[in-house]
Amino acid sequence: MVLIADFPANYVVTLESATAAPSTPSFGFRANGNLTTAPAIEILVTPVGDGRAWHGAFFGQRDGLSVLAHTPDPDQLLVVAGGVPYWVPVDAPDSYIVLPVRPVRSVHCSLARGLIILAGYSNLLAVDRDGRVVWRSADLASDGFTEVRLASTVVVTRGFFAPEDREVETTIDLGRGAILGRL
């Protein structure tokens, strides 16, 4: 399990392999259409200050990516459980949202823009500090990216693009998601 801690956080998150203590509130996180019977990740989240921890069981696909990431908002947590991305307010975990990209294959942070970039099989999704989708790219690859690299104003991706029958490198404007160039 990877924790991406590029942004600051007002909470501590740890992996939980067993059921939480009886006094700890527990929440189950599921996406529509996710039929997995066991959680992909179980975590314990403790907000700094009040110390009222909660346990979360996040359901996802069996072999998908699982990542925890601090977000541009220090009171929000991104949990990718088996490729399913959950955006969770740590003080109100039952108000979580499931972001519209599945499966997530990689997670990237733009500190300069205050964005989280989620890479799926064929496109990218940019999410702001409130968990709102800022942009969704056009299809950039056909079956995953071999590289996703962020700079201060652009995202550069590499991947096989079936309509052109070749590997392509695409440069995308980080603020708008527009394609700036393709090699």
Dist. CA 51–CA 24, nearest whole Å: 11
Within 8 A by CB and 6+ apart from 76, the residues are 87, 88, 89, 90, 129, 130, 131
0.75 exceeded by the pTM? yes
Q: Mean pLDDT over residues 88-98, rounded?
A: 96
* 18 has a pLDDT exceeding 60: no
pLDDT > 90: percent of the chain: 83
The confidence score (pLDDT) of residue 19 equals 58
- CA proximity to 145, closest of 105, 103, 183: 105
Report residue 75 as tokens. 């009171």
Residue 35: its pLDDT value, please? 63
Residue 164 carries which DSSP code? G
**Mean pLDDT on 33-41:** 77
- How far apart CA 9 and CA 82 sit, in angstroms, is 23
Distance CA 139, CA 142 (A): 7
What are the tens digits of pLDDT across the range 145-177?
999 999 999 999 999 999 999 999 999 999 999
Residue 97 has pLDDT above 70, yes or no: yes
Least confident of 4-8, 10-14, 31-35: 31-35
Cα 149 to the center of its chain, rounded Å: 16
DSSP letters, 76-112, are EEEEEETTEEEEEETT-GGG-EE-S-SS--EEEEETT
pLDDT at 34 over 80: no
CB crowding 100-117: b at 16 or more within 10 Å, else e:
ebbbbbbbbbbeebebbb
* Structure token digits, residue 79: 């949990």
Residue-wise pLDDT for 135-147, tens only, equals 999 999 998 999 9
Q: What is the amino acid identity at position 94?
A: D
pLDDT score of 63: 82
Question: What is d(CA 179, CA 169) in angstroms, rounded to the nearest whole number?
Answer: 11
Query: Does residue 36 surpass a pLDDT of 80?
Result: no
